[in-house]
Structure 1
């Protein structure tokens, strides 16, 4: 009698342990938002243009 009760308890435990879904859990991909960076060329180009104008003014002054 003990073996029958033990077998039924083990069968119930095994059935409840595998009652869930066998599919893999859904893992959502992280959303990466990148801020738009300002143009680093803008400041450098203005400085280069200012330098070229200064050189042109010095050459024109001679």
Structure 2
């Protein structure tokens, strides 16, 4: 009985170490690239246009 227990214990140790690895390729995630976007100047032109309308209206 002692030999059977020792054999089962040895078999259990061998199977757990054999299953430790995997044959699948490792998953490598692509790096995240963050780009700064430039805003269009249409917002600035709109503010200047409205400011000039206010100045013209105030002069009259």
Length-normalised TM-score, structure 1: 0.49
User: Normalised by the size of structure 2, how large is the TM-score?
Assistant: 0.50
